[in-house]
Chain A
Amino acid sequence: MPKKYHIDIKPTPLNVKLIPKFKITRGENCINCGKCTKVCIYEAHKRSEQDIRKIADPYMVACRNCFRCIQECPRGALAKGLEPDFQALGGAYWKPDMFLSIWKQAEDGKVPVSGAGYRGPFTGPGFDGMWTDMSEIVRPTRDGIHGREYISTAVELGRKLNHLEFDGSGALVSKIFNVVDVPLPIVFDIPASDLLTSNVKNAMVTAAEALGSFAIFPSAEISPDMQRHMQHIIPLMTPDSIGANTALIQSARVIALEYSGALLENFAAVRRSVRNISSALVIVRINAATGVEDTIVQLTKAGVEIIHIAADYCGMEVQGERYIKDVIRAVHLRLIDERMRDEISIIASGGIGMAEHVPKALLCGADLTAIGLPLLIALGAFVYQQPARKIVMPEGIEKIPVGIARQRIVNLMGAWHSQLLEVMGAMGIREARRLRGETGRAIFFDEIDRETFGKLFQKQESANV
């Protein structure tokens, strides 16, 4: 039997300051009796180290919201509320709870337990407007997914043939294209940023290596010490700089090129120049924008084997009003119409922030997803949407050992992998490849809304007219 794909998770706390969700305030009527220190089994309440006669401020990171201290305080001196700093995290898309969930998964690699069932929202923009048989991961099934080990999350990068052709003597005449297996449908997509210290970049690369996946890095960002891991790095470059990056291309299995109108026009020549250096697969990275599906059809016709559609960090088109989920669906359906869907692999990125977003993106028609922000959040980064995108890396991040940072990323992916298995197990789908475009396995709010109420309101509208 082939070796099973397994992600090694390991509890890995991060020694930086995270923002807890709740805040317990100690009223003036606290009598320092110590009851809270006795009843709290998580040690959120402790006596002060400076003066043990007084109770220290609650250590909220340890708090698991059991409310026991609040209930048992003989003076009713404890009050619990939301931490304003926590509520200020993220924004409309990157909701504060997503941070908590990512931190938790990065710490222990386990499926987060929300406790009281999936609370929706079952509607809303982006991925919130669709749900799958089990997108609402509440907790791992009690005994684990039956036959979990027979579920494959592997996907392929590269062109696949519709059929094979043989000559009269039975010899294969079809040209078999080079493909690359990725054991889970997630690659890392790391934008250039001053915030990324060398330990963080190394952690991402080594994590990708540990997972058997890839990390896309702008070629300029790839430092010599990272080049040992080129098998798991996808250098991103402009077509013009192919010559300058010969060394990287030689050792890479996959490279990525920035889309431009010129690239579309002479893709064959560019592809040839890469092939002259190595047999690396080529991704063309294109921003999600209005009409991107037309461009993709043209690129496919020009011989592109992998397309990376990149939306912004909130999953919106860079130019346009669509969410990435709708862009993928449009591209996927268009390619099917053109009977060329298998000619290319599609990577979707932008706004993928939760485990459930991965199968949802696949159901919409992507072959795999790329993520960036969740990796930074796993390392303690705070992201703010208002007034403009802002990422704050935690203080002292440069001192975090690569091993710890890597393990946290691995843990996060381990948790997402488990959740993907749960979803697939619930659907009865054994291969992640088969998720692609399986919209029948998903429910779209817009559709059922239209089906249920559309006629009623249409009628009314026409009556009004």
Chain B
Amino acid sequence: MKPEEDFKKSAGDIKTIVNAAEKNMYSHDIGDVPHIMTQTFFQTQPDFVVQPRSVEEIARVLSYAFERRIPVIPRGAASWGFGGVIPTRGGIVIDLSPFRAILELDTAHKTITVQAGARWSDIDIVAKKNALCLMTYPSSKFSTVAGWVSTGGYGINSYRYGHISKQILSMTVVTPAGEIKKLTPADREFDFFVSGEGQFGIIAEVTFKLRDLPKHSYAHIFYFPTDTAAFEFIARAAREKTAANVIRFVDKNHLRETNEILHANIFKEEAGVLVEFSNTADEQQFLGLIQQYGADSQSPAYAASYLWNERLFGMKAKRLGPTLLASEVILPIADAAAFIAKAKKLGGCYGVEICIDSYILDQTRALIMTTFLCDSRKLKYMVHMPLVSMLTQAAVSLGAQPYGLGIWNAAFVNHLLDPERRHDIRAYKAKVDPHGIMNPGKYLRVGSKFMNLPALLFHPAVFSLSMRLLILLSPLFGPIATMVFGKDKKLDSLDLELSTHACAKCGNCMAVCPAYLVLKNEAVSAKGKVELAKKLIAGLPVTAEEAANAYMCMHCRACEEICQTNLDLMTLWDALERRLATQFPRPEEKIKDFLKTVDASKEYWDMVERNS
């Protein structure tokens, strides 16, 4: 019997995705890791995907898997790039992205209860209609609530409101054995689920605090001659607890790229500090400090507002790539400038331009995202990928913590968790998940095919050593690689093929796509269609079923509007349909059924109304 048939028989009628081509969407995340790599190491194709519609259904899936010791991989919008949702040994992917209802908004207590897959963007819209808004939220606002609680948790407004876990009042979780529990911060188990990366169970519902919607937003951007000067100022502002919602550092390369995307010279190409306030008192206090300190200059308000509003579209630079690689760490503010210098030097060895984007988290720490552009279609990519780990290594050597583990950062576990914490985690994991079914092969221990031999590379000691060695050799090795493979040029415009590569797979489109909302299949979202286009361009065979997915579209243009990389998606869809039409007849019946389903869907009309 096929695994999904056995599942249906035992666990009952829960929606599954079993089609091989469609399952493929659920075998990777936002990261651009070549298949050859993931597939050599891991069994990334899941046995099947389930889409539970209630907490009770989640529990049923888990008890089924628990009993049979089948791996379970929880998945949200898949917009975190460290392999947290990539299956390593097949198993069942629990797709919580369609489990996205907003259950209850309590305006009196300013709290909201949502399902795991609820999007921050949707919550913000609903909250704002009631004069409330989010406190801390991720820069990928179109990601899921439970996904971010399980992985990141630091983002916009962290400086003011702290980590997202500080705002959570309670979470409904399902343990690997299928037990449903409601946890509050007072419970000892609560902490395991925060940044737990799906190791201990599944977060099914979350209740968290909102804040009053501020009437105003004042953004400023100040320039400093050097990164060091900028961070000296930031350190002082943070130390003195200067009130601001957000303090963000962007380096001159980041600002140059922003200029290039805009085809205009709007930002000064210097170290920039972006701050945002919701009242003039905070603003004046900060301006006072700036005056004392003496920043170089300031951009006009419109430029600051633009950069502030672009905070949600961090991957826009991918247009120039088409690939964007990133390393994310949490570093003491005092060491930030030193790290940046080191990172740029390292990048220089490989002929890439390092961009820095950093959110100040509290008085002492900064979340630093180091990114660089490259091209995953070229051979040199094989050198660029390890560069990410080298950058992380360079940071942890300076005392940084990796921002999550997943697969690709798992080797840095010792820098994230101290021995005591590791011990606690192991003990708790052994207790709740004795068979290790929850998201296996990553986090504390990477497991791979071939008797775990390839996974040895991700052993902290081995990995750290090899990375250090690589960094050491970089001044020699980098220029050779650049000589052999050439230097990547930035892209000026995107053709259709490049567009498919420039897709960040960030999942923004999934949050707004009506076809995805109704059909609950990533293959019909813009992300899935781009994947299909990629396949066609590569000349790979496509089935009639896959082809039909391309037609499941309301032509609402929401994907195009929300796309981080500003891809010309509507044109792409037309081209895709034209190309498919040469292979398969247009699936008229399916299109008709699709429209009927959409028309009859309450969720769809709710979405239409919500966005009106």
B residues in contact with A54, CB < 8 Å: 555
A178 within 8 A of B: no
A124 within 8 A of B: no
B591 within 8 A of A: yes
Instruction: Establish whether residues B611 and A53, one from each chain, have CB atoms under 8 Å apart when the complex forms.
Output: no
Instruction: Establish whether residues B612 and A53, one from each chain, have CB atoms under 8 Å apart when the complex forms.
Output: no
Instruction: Establish whether residues A32 and B608, one from each chain, have CB atoms under 8 Å apart when the complex forms.
Output: no
Partner of A75, one of B553, B591, B599, B612: B612
A74 within 8 A of B: yes
How far, in whole Å, are A53 and B591 apart by their CA atoms in the complex?
A: 8
Q: Beyond A47-B595, A52-B592, A52-B595, is A31–B609 a contact (Cβ under 8 Å)?
A: no
Instruction: Establish whether residues B554 and A31, one from each chain, have CB atoms under 8 Å apart when the complex forms.
Output: yes
B558 within 8 A of A: yes
B45–chain A nearest beta-carbon distance, Å = 31
B483 within 8 A of A: no
Closest residue of A by beta carbon distance from B598: A34
A64 within 8 A of B: no
Q: Beyond A53-B554, A53-B555, is A33–B608 a contact (Cβ under 8 Å)?
A: yes
B residues in contact with A52, CB < 8 Å: 591-592, 595
Number of interface residues of A (CB under 8 A): 11
Partner of B612, one of A32, A34, A47, A74: A74
Closest residue of A by beta carbon distance from B612: A74
How far, in whole Å, are A31 and B612 apart by their CA atoms in the complex?
A: 11
A426–chain B nearest beta-carbon distance, Å = 48
B149–chain A nearest beta-carbon distance, Å = 31
A301 within 8 A of B: no
B residues in contact with A33, CB < 8 Å: 514, 554, 556, 608
B557 within 8 A of A: yes
Closest residue of A by beta carbon distance from B586: A51
For A401-418 the 0/1 string (1 means CB < 8 A from B) is 000000000000000000
Instruction: Establish whether residues B595 and A74, one from each chain, have CB atoms under 8 Å apart when the complex forms.
Output: no
Closest residue of B by beta carbon distance from A72: B612
Instruction: Establish whether residues B554 and A35, one from each chain, have CB atoms under 8 Å apart when the complex forms.
Output: no
Partner of A31, one of B557, B592, B595: B557
A352–chain B nearest beta-carbon distance, Å = 50
How far, in whole Å, are A33 and B595 apart by their CA atoms in the complex?
A: 10
Closest residue of B by beta carbon distance from A53: B555
Instruction: Establish whether residues A53 and B608, one from each chain, have CB atoms under 8 Å apart when the complex forms.
Output: no
A residues in contact with B551, CB < 8 Å: 53
Q: Which of A31, A34, A35 has the most CB of B within 10 A?
A: A31
A residues in contact with B553, CB < 8 Å: 53
Instruction: Establish whether residues B555 and A34, one from each chain, have CB atoms under 8 Å apart when the complex forms.
Output: no
B residues in contact with A31, CB < 8 Å: 554-558, 608
Closest residue of A by beta carbon distance from B557: A31
A residues in contact with B611, CB < 8 Å: 74
Instruction: Establish whether residues A35 and B595, one from each chain, have CB atoms under 8 Å apart when the complex forms.
Output: no
Closest residue of A by beta carbon distance from B592: A52
A68–chain B nearest beta-carbon distance, Å = 15
How far, in whole Å, are A52 and B556 apart by their CA atoms in the complex?
A: 13
A residues in contact with B558, CB < 8 Å: 31
8 A Cβ contacts from A59-116 to B: 74-75
B572–chain A nearest beta-carbon distance, Å = 16
B residues in contact with A32, CB < 8 Å: 554-556
How far, in whole Å, are A31 and B558 apart by their CA atoms in the complex?
A: 8
Instruction: Establish whether residues B609 and A53, one from each chain, have CB atoms under 8 Å apart when the complex forms.
Output: no
B379–chain A nearest beta-carbon distance, Å = 41
Q: Beyond A52-B592, A74-B608, A74-B611, is A34–B599 a contact (Cβ under 8 Å)?
A: yes
Closest residue of B by beta carbon distance from A38: B599
A residues in contact with B556, CB < 8 Å: 31-33
A297–chain B nearest beta-carbon distance, Å = 73
How far, in whole Å, are A33 and B557 apart by their CA atoms in the complex?
A: 11
8 A Cβ contacts from A305-334 to B: none
Measured CB to CB, the residues of A under 8 A from B are 31-35, 47, 52-54, 74-75
Extra contacts, 13 of them, besides A33-B556, A34-B595, A34-B599 (Cβ < 8 A), are A31-B608, A32-B554, A33-B554, A35-B608, A47-B595, A52-B592, A53-B551, A53-B553, A53-B554, A53-B555, A74-B608, A74-B609, A74-B611
Measured CB to CB, the residues of B under 8 A from A are 514, 551, 553-558, 591-592, 595, 598-599, 608-609, 611-612
Instruction: In the A-B complex, list the 7 residue pairs whose CB atoms are closest, starting with the nearest.
Output: A74-B612, A31-B556, A32-B555, A33-B608, A74-B608, A32-B554, A53-B555
Selected A-B contacts with CB under 8 Å, 8 pairs: A31-B556, A33-B554, A34-B598, A52-B592, A52-B595, A53-B553, A53-B595, A74-B611
